[in-house]
Amino acid sequence: MSDSRADLALVNYAADPLSVELREIPKATIRPDEVLLEVAAVGVCGSDLHMWQGGISWEMNYPVVLGHEFCGVIREIGADVNGWQEGDRAISETSATIDPHSPLSRRGLYNLDPARQGYGALVDGAMRSFVAVPQRILHRLPEGVPFEHAALTEPCCVAYNAVVNNGQVKPGDRVLVMGPGPIGIFSAHLARLAGAEVAIAGLPSDASRLRIAEEYGCTTLVEGVEEWARERDGLGCDGVIDAAGASAALKVAIEVVRPAGWISKVGWGPQPLNFSLDPLVQKNVTLQGSFSHNWPIWEAVVAMMASGQLNVTRALGGTWPLEQWHTAFETMHSRKIVKAVLTP
């Protein structure tokens, strides 16, 4: 591009399938409380694939630049920004706008604020060279963490919330993860770190991803889910993390979890249930939704990445320049890899 005021961006311009293309857009400008981040790496999320394929179940603002899993280098500082300098490495959260006066935001639960607007859906995201980021959602990126790894922080935070905050994992538990997508893989990894024995269930088409789950020390299942869940004492597994989202997965979770067990539901799915929830009552099972993340979760995950405790290397299937976005999307959509990363 010859115009320094323009930027090349990956834009979702309509709800119709395949309505995604590279477009030249104006370069981002910043408000006093923001920094201009030069994007070094941006992860491809399953939600990006859903938007590309069509058929999403959440609110969108078309046209919108995709990308909410990103990191980079600060190139410009707003007048009201403190504690940051040009050249600093940073990771951004996804809550581009919130209501700071919301009762939820005041409690630190801005991820649940109804007024929250996320990058890549309601606010232009980071599949471009430069993006404006409020100081309140910036985290320092340690020098030892590569940009392509840091771009996977956001899905790790989603998994952390599902496992640590909204799950009830204890050392020695048997935990079943439904769905070997990125959130499922990272949830399984974190449950293993918490001391649980973990199995992850998928489809025959998930073979490549299930092999990666085995590298994280998990038992992998295409069939025999109930047998695995009940093999210890016949009552079922201690907990289930539903990262699949489909109604069928939740039905299986309810069937195989033990009495007084728990289900942490992090996967989205538009399908109606079409089955009874009475077993939740009969077995006294806790069904807990898990959405997004907040500041303490991000700080914990970044620290775990920096220490090497949280290892995302196995899940990173490759990096592609932004101009090759279609190859990255196709490769991830094929389930041959867990995560793809773009480098604008």
| Measured distance CA(124)–CA(130) in Å, rounded | 11
Domain that holds residue 264: 157-289
Both 284 and 227 in a single domain? Answer: yes
Q: 118 lies in a domain?
A: yes
Beta bridge partners of 219: 199
- Report d(CA 150, CA 43) in Å as an integer: 9
Q: What is the rounded CA–CA span in Å between residue 268 and residue 273? A: 12
Q: How many distinct structural domains can be found in the chain?
A: 2
The reported pLDDT for the residue numbered 2 is 40
Burial class of residue 91 in the structure, from the number of CB atoms within 10 Å of its CB (0-12 exposed, 13-18 middle, 19+ buried): buried
Question: Rounded distance, CA 102 to CA 81, Å?
Answer: 22
Provide CB contacts within 8 A for 105, sequence distance 6+. Answer: 98, 99, 113
What pLDDT, on the 0 to 100 scale, is given for residue 4? 67
Q: What is the CA angle 316-243-283, rounded to 5?
A: 150
Q: What one-letter code names the amino acid at 136?
A: R
Peptide bond into 63 cis (omega under 30): yes
Outline where 15-66 has alpha helix (H): 46-53
CATH number at residue 204: 3.40.50.720
Tell me the HSE value of 259 on the side-chain side, using a 13 A CA sphere: 5
- CATH label of the domain that carries residue 140: 3.90.180.10
Residue 296 inside a domain? The answer is: no
Distance of CA 102 to the CA centre of its chain: 24
pLDDT of amino acid 217: 98
In a domain, 34, yes or no: yes
For the chain, 344 residues long, the average pLDDT of each consecutive 10-residue run is 75 95 97 98 96 86 97 98 98 97 96 96 97 98 98 98 96 98 98 98 97 98 98 98 95 98 92 91 98 97 98 98 98 96 97
Q: Would residue 77 count as lying in a domain?
A: yes
Task: Check residue 272 and give its pLDDT.
Answer: 83
User: Is 298 a domain residue?
Assistant: no
Among 274, 289, 304, residue at a domain's last position:
289
* Contact predicate 108/102, CB 8 Å: no
Question: Which residue, chain included where needed, has tokens 């038992």?
Answer: 219
Per-residue model confidence (pLDDT) at position 1: 41
Longest Cα–Cα distance of the chain, Å, equals: 68
Q: Is the pTM of this model over 0.75?
A: yes
